Structure 1
C-alpha cells in the first residue's frame, strides 16, 4: 500500500480494500482529509461499501436471539445526510440503504468521519457519545453491545 499522503482517495476502489487495511487507512488520515473524503464524491460509495459488508462482519453468536432494528443517520455538510438501517434477527444482519417506516429500537446519529472511525475500530462508541459526537435515541443497552455483534478490526 502506498503512503497515505500519496493515496488517491478519489479513485481508490474501496470494494477491494480489506477491513484491516481500511482501518489502517482511516487511522492514518488527518481529520481534515477524512472530512474532505466524506464530503466528496466518494461518500456514498464508501458508506455503501461499509454497510454492504456488515453482514459479513456480523457475529451471530454474540447477538444470540436479539431482534433489533438500528437506524444509522450519517450526517454531512449542508444537511446531506445518509440513512441506513440494520436489522439483526434470527442470526443474521440485513441492511437497508434508506429510512423505512419501521420503528427502530435504537437510532444513532454522527458525522461521517466519526462513523468511519467507529466501524474501523479507531474510536469507541462511549467516547464518541460522551464527547457528543454520537447521539443515541432508544435502547442504550443495545448501543452498548452493538460493537460486540460485529468483528471490528483492531488497529
Structure 2
C-alpha cells in the first residue's frame, strides 16, 4: 500500500475503494459499504484501509459529519445510507485502530498519531450521531447540542 497522508482516502487501497463505489449504481452502495464494514475481524484488519474509507462515507452522512475533513473520496454522490451502518462503522474503526501500532521513526510516529486522531474523530462522529436524542430517551432532559470540532483546510463532503 502506498500512503500519502493521514486522511481516510490518503492511500491506494482506499482510493481504489472510492473508484469501485463510484462505478456502482446508487442502490448497491449500502451493500458494498456494509460488506467493507462487517467482515470477520481478521479480514477487517487485513483490509483496514477499505474499512476506514467505508466508515468515512458513513460518517460524512451523519448530522455533524459535514464538518469532517476526509480529503479525497468518491467522486459521485453516495446514496443515503441506513443509519444502522453508523454502529458498524464505529465498531470497524475501533477494531482496526487497535491493530495499528506506533513506529520507531519519529516522523512515522507523528504521522501515525495524526492518523489515529483523525480516525478517532470519525469514530466520535459515528458514535455521537448514533446515540438517541434526549427526546427519544424517556425521562431525559433536553440539553443544547455540543458544538462540533471544526478542522482547517479543504473539506470534501459526499452528498446523500
Is the TM-score greater than 0.5?
A: no
Higher relative contact order (CA 8 A, sep 6+): 2
User: Counting strand residues as a fraction of each chain, which structure ranks higher?
Assistant: 1
User: Counting helix residues as a fraction of each chain, which structure ranks higher?
Assistant: 2
For the pair shown, which has the larger CA radius of gyration, 1 or 2?
2
Please give the TM-score of this superposition, normalised by the length of structure 2: 0.30
